[in-house]
Structure 1
């Protein structure tokens, strides 16, 4: 149920944020901040932060989750399973680029839906439907649990979304407000998500994709959460284990084995044919997530960081650097997996949400203020961003120093660490908001060039009159480096020129040919391509066909109505 706030924000992306990004002609989120505020310190800070978040929340967690499934099904070592998963994923990500990622994502979505819905049907049939699940869940406890301990017992509010604000694991004020800001960051300002909407043909296509994603956001409760609860009923000694030594033997994690609930259900409940399909589904889902993150991280590193320090870099150089960076990213993420395994009581979801609550609110507030308050300037945005990130990093480090105790152990952590991460997200958002507002109000306002077509109120503005030495925002942004658009040097070495003039290509070794293929550069040295003509400024129109716009708006209302009903029903 905690996924449902994202339903509102994925729609907000297409109807509110995307028109601003399109109007500003941006390709990455740090680029938007560079145009909106000027300077380089905010975009560089954001680019580094995005890569940090990708490594420690997205890539590490996805690899760990995939490794758990492969480990449970094939009984392989955890790190051997990680290497196998990465080997499959890296081949078409490094060689194929964004196009390969988008096409495989679209295909894998249908496979995932078929497999997940099948498993949901088998799960409900096994326990007697939703009513049977509600009756049997509270008696699903491990047989080896100590009778005098509360460890391993199901929560009494397990089927409620609005839980006690003080004693519950997910307090309702935190769900409504604390989780909303990180969710807004993810769906409206994260490069992984926004990059796909920016790749749409027009605004109407982007809205249609967002509506489809919003409808799919309704499904996780039924195809993931409820089947996971069924797994606890069917396999309580494994999924609900509470004794550290036993949990270590079951899943290799003394903090608990709730992370194996879904793989256990797949491997034990489904018949052979569907089991194979579901194995493909889960691996496809993890590969889909990894490929998206790899591509977006590579784009941010090459276009926002590398080009800042090497503005003269050619597209060939950017292409190779992007591929190499993905490999480095993978290695760092692998070394972080043991930390993921031991953090937040061994629960992946809590680990992801806690780090998101410490690092993402300040970024989301800067985007909100930049998009909707024209008075926001670079000094205010930078002050709020840095102050919020420092507070978040302090809490993050304290969480790693004072690890959450196992069930039954006394909690001797400092009081600041005991503050729920969702409440800390609320505090962080308010502090960042006040900082951005105060500094922006008492310093000089931004120039008209920093506001025109870069806020909600000015998205329809005409191009401002710029000084001669300043580039208009309508200039076509530098493209993401692809294998088909390598910018070769105008002059070749003397021996190479001679070889080409004789019609003979220089012979390349097999190793070099393999490296060029991995970087998408095979066959590019056979002839010098013609120089491209100078690109003309382009502007994607925000206009939509009236009939299509009406159809999309009606679907928007229907989708929001369904979400509000489900919130009320499960509250």
Structure 2
């Protein structure tokens, strides 16, 4: 049974209404996007708690959850939900440590913070290095991965849809309202998208559970025992427990705390209180994918045993279990999830180009020229995002593609950013050495794994999440050793003192808040941490 066969007029009407609404929001946001670069890139720093939180959640859900996490849960079980649970813990850490520093620095991009932190000698090099890496990951991994996920849905929805034209259409649609409305269009469409995708995922989870007469015992008995276990043995090929402890904090911190397309919402918040509140709202929402997406997909293993690809499980559930009328809502949610990452990464990448490379404001460009150039950069990235999925479709699993690429690229960035924020003596020279050593090692590991795979050999390396954790520790050790071996130069010691005075380092007072009782974000954070711990214990 194809999804096309189960679709009725109401389903198509729901999808059409969603697409029209997104374009109308983009057109409305475009009215205020042409006044300045800050309006285009940070929505005029006017975002509130709900907008920040829902936009953070919706932007992440796209390629990694509805398609990727569901596919991984279908094939190997719910342990993949650790990525979502770890995100909640990372967002709590950000609320306490990183968000106060970034907002006090009044930066537009994360690499811009590193430039200020490491001073005029090494700061610009570190800034451009990390900015270029972020653009690469955003376009070639996140954006292209989301376009690929969208085309998978379209091909199930309308069998026979040609791959490349569908990629071009999807990327162009997201690029249209992103270029017009900037971050304001992105975040307000994300609010709509978050609500729609949560409703859609809830409907399909309900329908899957209904196939077992709402009996947990019957549903769990239908799948292998380890399918519903979050804690896996050390030799587990999909996600060993040591990888959760060592690697997921590294991958999670980069994605949520150093990734421009995610952090752009936080940087656009109207105050520290709104930024923290939005981060904690997103953390609470990250508890839901386990129940709305991973567990239903794991149960689908017994209901849909013959899928050629795990990535097809979510659209296949729509075709199999939803009646006409509900299918349109769920597909609209799926499209919403995909679009929210595409628009976010396009806007973030154009921001990085204009702020970290072109440096338009420093050159005295007019606001109109900055906005026009930013829109041209977005258009260029649309072209890349539309074509790169041709390479992704040959990779074994969308989620696997995303996480493996990140595991080799991001550990050095995490080490440099955290040391720079938490250790006063950390300098730009040590940051560059750590970045070069870490990425050279990651490239060698990647090449070795590809060679071993092609020759049918065991590469002898631990799981990629363990490698990510070990690489981050190695980079931190290299940065520490480089700093200690050379000793502080007078100019660098002076810069470290200025960085402290300028508020570019974290200190304990940053964790303080005037709020009391349940409004105190620290009590909210503790509640979220306990919720994650209880969830892991229940599904251990």
TM over 0.5: yes
Deviates further, 281-290 or 124-133: 124-133
Out of 214, 231, 252, the residue aligned to residue 283 of structure 2 is 214
Alignment partner, residue 526 of structure 1: none
Structure 1 gap segments, 5+ residues each: 139-155, 240-246, 248-256, 405-409, 461-541
Q: 2:447 and 2:360 mapped to 1: Cα distance?
A: 29
Q: 1:309 and 1:563 mapped to 2: Cα distance?
A: 43
Out of 298, 312, 332, the residue aligned to residue 384 of structure 2 is 332
Deviates further, 215-224 or 312-321: 312-321
For the pair 1:113 / 2:198, whether they are aligned, the reply is yes
Superposition pairs for residues 148-297 of structure 1, below 5 Å? 157-237=226-306, 239=307, 247=308, 257-297=309-349
For the pair 1:316 / 2:285, whether they are aligned, the reply is no
For the pair 1:20 / 2:101, whether they are aligned, the reply is yes
- Please state which structure has a larger fraction of its residues in helix: 2
For the pair 1:560 / 2:520, whether they are aligned, the reply is no
Structure 2 gap segments, 5+ residues each: 1-80
Match of 2:229, SS state, is: coil
Q: 1:170 and 1:330 mapped to 2: Cα distance?
A: 33
Q: 1:99 and 1:396 mapped to 2: Cα distance?
A: 38
Post-superposition offset of 1:545: 4.0
Out of 393, 400, 405, the residue aligned to residue 341 of structure 1 is 393
Contact preservation (8 Å) 1:204, 1:549: no
Q: 2:216 and 2:456 mapped to 1: Cα distance?
A: 36
Out of 166, 183, 202, the residue aligned to residue 98 of structure 1 is 183
Contact preservation (8 Å) 1:108, 1:281: yes
Q: 1:459 and 1:51 mapped to 2: Cα distance?
A: 33
Post-superposition offset of 1:311: 3.2
Deviation readout 1:84-136 (Å, 9 max, x if unpaired): 32232122111111111111111221111111111111111113443222211
Contact preservation (8 Å) 1:59, 1:290: yes
For the pair 1:450 / 2:499, whether they are aligned, the reply is yes
Contact preservation (8 Å) 2:89, 2:529: yes
Alignment partner, residue 141 of structure 1: none
Post-superposition offset of 1:279: 0.8
Q: 2:457 and 2:483 mapped to 1: Cα distance?
A: 41
Distance 1:548 1:53, change over 3 A: farther
Q: 2:99 and 2:447 mapped to 1: Cα distance?
A: 34
Distance 1:308 1:374, change over 3 A: farther
Post-superposition offset of 1:258: 0.6
Deviation readout 1:505-551 (Å, 9 max, x if unpaired): xxxxxxxxxxxxxxxxxxxxxxxxxxxxxxxxxxxxx9854348844
Q: 1:340 and 1:215 mapped to 2: Cα distance?
A: 31
Q: 1:313 and 1:400 mapped to 2: Cα distance?
A: 45
> Bigger relative contact order, structure 1 or 2, given CA contacts below 8 A and separation 6+?
2
Contact preservation (8 Å) 1:23, 1:459: no
Task: Give the number of aligned pairs.
Answer: 447
Q: 1:286 and 1:334 mapped to 2: Cα distance?
A: 14
Q: 2:314 and 2:465 mapped to 1: Cα distance?
A: 26
Contact preservation (8 Å) 2:360, 2:370: no
Alignment partner, residue 222 of structure 2: 136
Q: 1:549 and 1:210 mapped to 2: Cα distance?
A: 16
The alignment yields a C-alpha RMSD, in angstroms, of 2.2
Post-superposition offset of 1:336: 2.3
Q: 1:282 and 1:399 mapped to 2: Cα distance?
A: 33
Q: TM-score normalised to the size of structure 2?
A: 0.78
Alignment partner, residue 17 of structure 2: none
Match of 1:101, SS state, is: helix
Distance 1:552 1:430, change over 3 A: closer
Match of 1:26, SS state, is: coil
Post-superposition offset of 1:291: 0.8
Distance 1:315 1:309, change over 3 A: closer
Deviation readout 1:38-93 (Å, 9 max, x if unpaired): 23110010010001111221011111111101111012122222223223212211
Match of 1:365, SS state, is: helix
Alignment partner, residue 147 of structure 1: none
Match of 1:157, SS state, is: helix
Contact preservation (8 Å) 1:59, 1:333: yes
Distance 1:378 1:301, change over 3 A: same
Post-superposition offset of 1:457: 2.4
